[in-house]
Amino acid sequence: MLRFFLIVFCISLMSACSNKKELPILGNRDYQTKIVNGKEVQDTIYHTIKDFNFVNQDSQPVVPATFQDKIYIADFFFTSCPTICPTVKTQMLRIYEKYEGNKNVVLLSHTLDTKYDTPEVLNSYAKKLEIETNRWHMVTGEKDDIYTMAKQYFIAAAEDPNSPGGYTHSGGLVLVDRDKFVRGVYDGTEKDQVTELLGDIDVLLKEQGLK
Amino acid sequence: MRWIFILFIAAIALVLVQCDTNPYKQGKVLYEQNCQNCHQEDGHAVRGLIPPLAKSEYLSDPEQVACIIRNGLKGEITVNGEKYNHEMPPNLVLTPTQISNIINYINNSWGNKHPFVSYNKVAESLKACGDEFL
């Protein structure tokens, strides 16, 4: 009997902790010393997603302001990808479907195959998935810009003629808050990690005063 | 008392193992390595983009299935009443034996029930659709 209560106690303790989950801010930090009111103060500068300028499946520009007062989940893929992409897209559809009707949660998929994946190709891909552009942007742009962005999101991506489809990349899903801080990176090929991401999105929405 | 409990657990475990009735273990492994990325673990693939294998009417024609696995597929198709148009890449490294194993696994998974397809039949079909592997 005592053991039973002990187990119940432990479980409730664990759930108490997960309710108060706080998401970290990922990336290298910089410290800057400032003088405020004659006192020396140290300011922490967090890693933020830098400016970008891409074009989506409706040939409309996608810039940081597109995600103003929203949180978004970024990933990297290409439409002809024969490896992990369909799995990641299946998992992203879970996110898309859960937040149906919520304008504050947006998905952003970058193509790594900027040569083949024109806005027209992305448009037909998006049409097949039956997604709304304002909730799921599929973007292309200058090749170098896309690969530079991947690094900012801590995603490994490279052209590789030896790998199936011609590109090698991770299936990471990156959670970005309204201040453009990266709050989590999840493996989009793992169902359990995406379930964790779904929970973290709720935590982040609450933290940021969004619904 | 404890023994009865252990026996009970063992019995349940045995029943669960027996429930896994798909005898095509090799096909399952090959499916995971070659097909699952697109068609997914549950055979339902990707909504609107990649057609499902679960309860797909295409499976009633094993000859056609063998050739699709080998050569891939291009253009629009209709599966279970839904239209799909996304290129499937060819699979040139699979042997006819491996293809038969995959077909038999698919044919007996996710509620599918189709008769056993022999190696000879698969090899014949592959030859007919221009396979040079043989």
ipTM, 2 dp: 0.72
Residues B46, B51, B56, B57, Cα dihedral to 10°: 160
In a domain, B133, yes or no: no
State whether A87 and B89 contact (CB < 8 Å): no
**Mean pLDDT of successive 10-residue segments in chain A (211 residues)?**
62 56 91 87 92 97 97 96 92 97 97 96 96 97 96 93 88 96 96 97 96 82
Contact with chain A for residue B78, Cβ under 8 A = no
In angstroms, the separation between the Cα of residue A80 and the nearest Cα of chain B is 8
Note the pLDDT of residue A187.
96
pLDDT at B5 over 90: no
Single pTM value for the model: 0.80
Contact with chain A for residue B75, Cβ under 8 A = no
Note the pLDDT of residue A110.
97
Contact with chain A for residue B115, Cβ under 8 A = no
Question: Domain with B45 in it: what CATH number?
Answer: 1.10.760.10
Burial class (CB in 10 A: 0-12, 13-18, 19+), A77: buried
State whether B40 and A128 contact (CB < 8 Å): no
Note the pLDDT of residue A33.
87
In a domain, B4, yes or no: no
> What does DSSP say about strands A105-111 and A71-77: parallel, antiparallel, or unpaired?
parallel
Query: What DSSP assignment string belongs to B39-98?
Result: H-TTS--BTTTB---TT-GGGG-HHHHHHHHHH-B-S-EEETTEEE--PBPP--S--HHH
Q: Which residues of A touch B49 (CB under 8 A)?
A: 86, 89, 125, 128-129
- Tell me A181's DSSP state: B
Residue A176 in tokens: 């970005």
Residue A166 in tokens: 């011609």
Residue B31 CA to residue B99 CA, distance in Å, equals: 10
Cβ atoms within 10 Å of B112's Cβ, excluding its own? 17
Residues 6+ away with beta carbon under 8 Å from B55: B80, B110, B111, B112
The domain total for chain B is 1
Who has greater pLDDT, B22 or A16? B22
Helices B96-107/B62-71 angle, 10° precision: 120
- Tell me B133's DSSP state: -
**Do A76 and A122 contact (CB within 8 A), yes or no?**
no
What is the phi-psi region of residue A105: left when phi exceeds 0, alpha when psi lies from -120 to 50, beta otherwise? beta
pLDDT at B7 over 70: yes
In a domain, B62, yes or no: yes
**Do B31 and B102 contact (CB within 8 A), yes or no?**
yes
State whether A82 and B47 contact (CB < 8 Å): no
Q: B68-101: per-residue pLDDT in tens?
A: 999 999 999 999 999 999 999 999 999 999 999 9
In a domain, B53, yes or no: yes
In a domain, B108, yes or no: yes
* CATH T-level topology, domain A49-207: Glutaredoxin (3.40.30)
Residue A120 CA to residue A57 CA, distance in Å, equals: 7
Rounded to an integer, the average pLDDT of B121-134 is 84
Residue B50: which pLDDT band, with cuts at 50, 70 and 90?
A: very high
**Do A198 and A92 contact (CB within 8 A), yes or no?**
no
Note the pLDDT of residue A184.
97
Note the pLDDT of residue A8.
60
In a domain, B67, yes or no: yes
Domain range for residue B93? 22-128
Query: CA nearest A200: which of A74, A15, A24, A23?
Result: A23
State whether B84 and A84 contact (CB < 8 Å): no
In angstroms, the separation between the Cα of residue A125 and the nearest Cα of chain B is 8
